[in-house]
Amino acid sequence: MLEKKQHLTYANRRLALCHPQWSQLRVFYFLILLEKTMSNNAFLLKAEVREDIGKGASRRLRREHKIPAVIYGGGEDPQSVTISHFDILKCLNDEAFYSQIIDIEVAGEVQETILRDLQRHPYKPTVIHADFQRIVRGQELTLNVPVHYINADEAKGVKAGGILSQNIIDVEVTCRPSLIPEALQVDVAELDVNESLYLTDIKLPEGVRLTALESDDEEADTVIVSIHPPKAETVAEEASTDDDTDVEAEATDEESDNE
């Protein structure tokens, strides 16, 4: 019965609500059960249980266009699996794959995970191994999410000829799985030359914390983005400083000679 319920369309659900044989209570529990069997996660990977372990087995898997992987955590034993290399490569094209919840189906059971580690070949465009950590709904986890700098071309300092320097491209956050942001946006439109933004300038969604700022270290609030003066202007200032230094040195020498 559950299998049929999973394939009900939105229109069918509306019809079910109107059917006279359904009481409000039965409809309520039906919709709860339906939502539990359907995932809102953007990524789904199908995996197979891996029995053979070792370098030889891993090489055979790669010849079959599969990669070895492990699923661990969540209070359960680690599970060795294999995943299609093509499926992994397709997902890696999406930035959200690195920070969002990934459903992995193994032997008909779907496990919610996040990507924890990815080993790539040193010079070939292939993945060698992947580690996935199970998540537990309601329990906080720590992971890195991308940082996007918006309005970079419109920044005051850039319009004045300055150079935008991004010190970080991702940042570690702590939150519940349901609150993981796809990315954190930092607006640099008002940033001028010789100005910087810090970790504390990142606007966070409710329930999301920056892990680095939870320590008592005063230096944890580091610079994330700056706008530096144009190179020509910097070189000119350095040359002017050198000239001033030479003049001061010559004046000092003359005074010494006069003495």
Instruction: Give the model's pLDDT for residue 136.
Output: 94
Residues 47 and 74: their CA atoms lie apart, in Å, by 18
Residues 23 and 58 in one domain: no
Asked whether residue 110 is assigned to any structural domain, the reply reads yes
Asked whether residue 75 is assigned to any structural domain, the reply reads yes
Asked whether residue 248 is assigned to any structural domain, the reply reads no
Residues 221 and 194 in one domain: yes
One DSSP character per residue, 49-108 reads: E----SHHHHHHHHHTTEEEEEEEETTEEEEEEEEEHHHHHHHHTSGGGGTS-EEEEETT
Backbone phi, then psi, for 215, in 5-degree steps?
A: -90, 170
Residues 209 and 173: their CA atoms lie apart, in Å, by 5
Q: Residue 147 has which token pair?
A: 């940082």
Residues 120 and 150 in one domain: no
Q: Which of 118, 134, 150 is the last residue of a domain?
A: 134
Asked whether residue 195 is assigned to any structural domain, the reply reads yes
Residues 65 and 125 in one domain: yes
Query: What is the residue range of 9's domain?
Result: 2-36
Asked whether residue 29 is assigned to any structural domain, the reply reads yes
Asked whether residue 252 is assigned to any structural domain, the reply reads no
Instruction: Give the model's pLDDT for residue 60.
Output: 84
**43 in Cβ contact with 97 (< 8 Å):** yes
Intervals of the chain under pLDDT 50? 1-18, 20-22, 25, 27-39, 235, 247
Residues 155 and 118 in one domain: no
Alpha helix locations (H) across the chain?
Answer: 2-6, 10-18, 24-36, 55-63, 85-92, 156-159, 231-258
Instruction: Give the model's pLDDT for residue 3.
Output: 37
| Number of domains present in the structure of the chain | 3
Residues 106 and 67 in one domain: yes
Asked whether residue 170 is assigned to any structural domain, the reply reads yes
Instruction: Give the model's pLDDT for residue 59.
Output: 77
Residues 79 and 169: their CA atoms lie apart, in Å, by 32
Residues 23 and 93 in one domain: no
Domain with 112 in it: what CATH number?
2.40.240.10
Residues 56 and 123 in one domain: yes
Residue 114 CB coordination number (10 Å): 20
Residues 6 and 30 in one domain: yes
Instruction: Give the model's pLDDT for residue 193.
Output: 97
Residues 84 and 147 in one domain: no
Residues 48 and 81 in one domain: yes
Q: Which of 134, 162, 189 is the last residue of a domain?
A: 134
pTM value? Answer: 0.71
Residues 184 and 199 in one domain: yes
The enclosing H or E element of 109 equals strand 109-120
R_g of the chain, CA atoms, integer Å: 28
Asked whether residue 237 is assigned to any structural domain, the reply reads no
CA distances from 259 to 114, 155, 246, 255 (A): 76, 55, 20, 6
Instruction: Give the model's pLDDT for residue 74.
Output: 93
Domain with 183 in it: what CATH number?
2.170.120.20
